[in-house]
Structure 1
Amino acid sequence: MTQQPFTRPGAFDLSALKRPAAPAPTAGGPGRGGPGAGAARGGASGAPTGTSSYVLEVTEENFQAVIEQSMTAPVMLAFYSRTRMPESGQLADDLAALSGEFEGSFLVGLVDIDAAPGIAQAMQVPSIPLVVAVLDGRPAPLLQDALPIEELRATLTQVMQGLAAQGMTARHQPLTGAPAAEETDGEPPADPRYAAAEDALARDDIDGAVAEYQKLVTANPADVEAAAGLAMARVLQRTRGVDPAAARAAADAAPDDVETQTLVADLDLLDGAVDDAFVRVVELVRRSSGDEKNAAREHLLGLFAAVGNDDPRVLKGRQALASALF
């Protein structure tokens, strides 16, 4: 099919999906398609099978529910047709296969445009293959070419790293897979990947914790939990040995100084005054310009990462930052 610019802005026009549609067989019925609806079945549409716990086949019945899941973490919609363009089917397969490596950083929704033409119409899909990233209900084109799987992995890693840097670190829960491990005394089992960093924190070795988290992030930039741990460890590192009273007095004396203001924001964060920390830096961004403005912005993004994308205060802070920047 001829490539055309993808220009669909804003929210989806779902009016085309309100008409009754022939139900597609699913493993779990309507709604979200049941656990593993896409990963567990092939069917006439030829959806990938045996991929991961973060893949489902999107139908006109469950489309809205899939889009709503983008309010938690990104959803990647892969539009394909094995009959019209086999390469698009291969891209869908590869995206589904890679989703497990990112451990819930995004959910893959497979859209067979032959089986669900109403979705393609609502999305104004210009061509296939097409991968659209959806975050907070808003779509953005990601890919319009059938990349080799290694290039696809690199692209996804870059996207997830960029989102993590903005503090967007929430993850989807797996749709299928092995039962969750039993908890002990109400606490979830520890993830061995973070053991070295957590042990360093337990020893009050903040520099060691920063180094361990940095190793994890360098090895896997898509590891949003490691990125969040690194961000918080850096807050601890910056505030180690600081006299809070002296720091606040210095900030009061220099309201436009990035270093003094961001240090107090770190202290506010550690004291649990998250909103105060965010407001302080947002206002600093608003008043600053040039390199100072960018430094304040970068610091705030680090605080967002430390708190976590699923915290409503972070969403509020992002909205305030956008207002201060523009």
Structure 2
Amino acid sequence: MTQQPFSRPGAVDLSALTQTAAPAGGQPDRSGGAPVAGAGSSYAVSVDGEQGLQSVVEASMTAPVVLVFVSPSRVPESAQMADDLAVVVGEHEGKFLAAVVDVDASPAIAQMMQIQQVPLMMVLVDGRPATQPIPGVAGIDDLRAMFTQLAQQLTAQGIAGRHQPRSAAPVDGEGEDDEAAVDPRYAAAQAALVADDVDGAVAEYQKLVDANPADSEAAAGLAMAKVLQRTRGVDLQAAREAAAAHPDDVEAQTMAADLDLLGGHVDDAFARLVELVRRTSDKERDAAREHLLGLFGAVGNDDPRVLRGRQALASALF
């Protein structure tokens, strides 16, 4: 099935979701929903309520999200399709995140998204629909062909981000004592940092990320090592003066943000680049956004400051 650029007149504006407040007495869904049970569910979540939808829209700023709207009561085959989608998405190891919306359980989401029929799939990239909505029941073979082609198209467009798995099976024999031990995979990179060999640390972490893009610890280590690499030998005062004098200069602002991060001013670093994204456009905006995503990775995607930063970035982009 050939996917065409999304151009449906009157499409819902997903950016409004990034400004949705948490319900009284509750907290926003930080994980993008509960993992979907069954095989292939490491990259599939169930979406429950507007906060869950907001989370997966924000997740699409990292890598594509496939929203699938199903109704087990009205179209029983749609439930099997959701399970098959979880399997197929899992085979792409993070290139996609499947987000399943049961319109029977969440009619408000269906109304908000103007869903007229089920099942229906919608691919989101950077918080926006990237293809025409795909209606109807599809078997697992059709889904495999569809997502192989879609992955090729996204790669050709330079969209190479990956989601972190939402669940993982424990390894036999592992426990709290094992978690406390130093993982030998990171020993070379950590030794390089101890020896003040930042370039060596970057190279070692890069090897790990190339071998396993879903390794969140290696990705965070690489991101932080790159911050250290960029700021090595920089005159702190001169860099801050340059940023103050040139508020729209991407190079000056990203350097100041790196220094903010290293100085422990994480929220300040994020706010600086969010405002730069808000003020700039085209290549400058893309550069600021990519740099900010790198800093998110350095801090860690589960950090509440990163979650706040992602919400602010989504708001700035729209």
Same fold by TM-score greater than 0.5: yes
2:242 paired with 1:247: no
Corresponding residue for 1:130?
Answer: 120
CA contact under 8 A between 2:69 and 2:118: conserved in structure 1?
yes
Corresponding residue for 2:147?
Answer: 152
1:93 to 84, 87, 91: 84
Q: CA deviation at 1:266?
A: 0.7
Q: CA deviation at 1:274?
A: 0.9
Change in 2 beyond 3 A, CA 1:320/1:148: closer
Corresponding residue for 1:102?
Answer: 93
2:166 paired with 1:172: yes
In 1, the alpha carbon distance for the partners of 2:52 and 2:175 equals 31
1:304 to 296, 305, 308: 296
The one-letter amino acid paired with 1:210 is V
For residues 162-191 of structure 1, give each alpha carbon's deviation from its aligned partner in whole angstroms, at most 9, with x where no partner exists: 5958xxx665344x6657821238x55556
CA contact under 8 A between 1:80 and 1:92: conserved in structure 2?
no
Aligned residues: 277
CA contact under 8 A between 2:205 and 2:219: conserved in structure 1?
yes
**3-state DSSP of counterpart to 1:242:** coil
**3-state DSSP of counterpart to 1:235:** helix
In 2, the alpha carbon distance for the partners of 1:66 and 1:323 equals 15
Change in 2 beyond 3 A, CA 1:245/1:53: closer
Q: CA deviation at 1:260?
A: 2.9
Corresponding residue for 2:177?
Answer: 184
In 2, the alpha carbon distance for the partners of 1:256 and 1:118 equals 43
**3-state DSSP of counterpart to 1:102:** coil
Report matched runs for 1:22-101 at 5 Å.
38-39=37-38, 50-52=39-41, 63-64=48-49, 67=52, 70=55, 76-78=66-68, 89=80, 92-93=83-84, 95-99=86-90
Q: CA deviation at 1:234?
A: 1.4
Corresponding residue for 2:271?
Answer: 279
For residues 29-75 of structure 1, give each alpha carbon's deviation from its aligned partner in whole angstroms, at most 9, with x where no partner exists: xxxxxx98741xxxxxxxxxx4455667x6xxx95599479469577
More helix by share: 2
Q: Which has the larger radius of gyration?
A: 1
Corresponding residue for 2:306?
Answer: 314
CA contact under 8 A between 2:236 and 2:259: conserved in structure 1?
yes
**3-state DSSP of counterpart to 2:301:** coil
Unaligned runs of 5+ in 1: 13-34, 40-49
The one-letter amino acid paired with 2:224 is M
For residues 257-305 of structure 1, give each alpha carbon's deviation from its aligned partner in whole angstroms, at most 9, with x where no partner exists: 4323321211110111012222333444455566444433332232233
Corresponding residue for 1:265?
Answer: 257
CA contact under 8 A between 1:81 and 1:89: conserved in structure 2?
no
CA contact under 8 A between 1:197 and 1:210: conserved in structure 2?
yes
CA RMSD of aligned residues (A): 5.2
Unaligned runs of 5+ in 2: 1-6, 18-33
The one-letter amino acid paired with 1:233 is A
Change in 2 beyond 3 A, CA 1:198/1:144: farther
In 2, the alpha carbon distance for the partners of 1:286 and 1:66 equals 24
CA contact under 8 A between 1:182 and 1:189: conserved in structure 2?
no
Change in 2 beyond 3 A, CA 1:315/1:86: closer
2:222 to 220, 227, 230: 230
**3-state DSSP of counterpart to 1:184:** helix
Q: Which stretch shows the higher mean deviation, 256-265 or 121-130?
A: 121-130
CA contact under 8 A between 2:42 and 2:166: conserved in structure 1?
no
Q: CA deviation at 1:154?
A: 6.9
**3-state DSSP of counterpart to 2:267:** helix
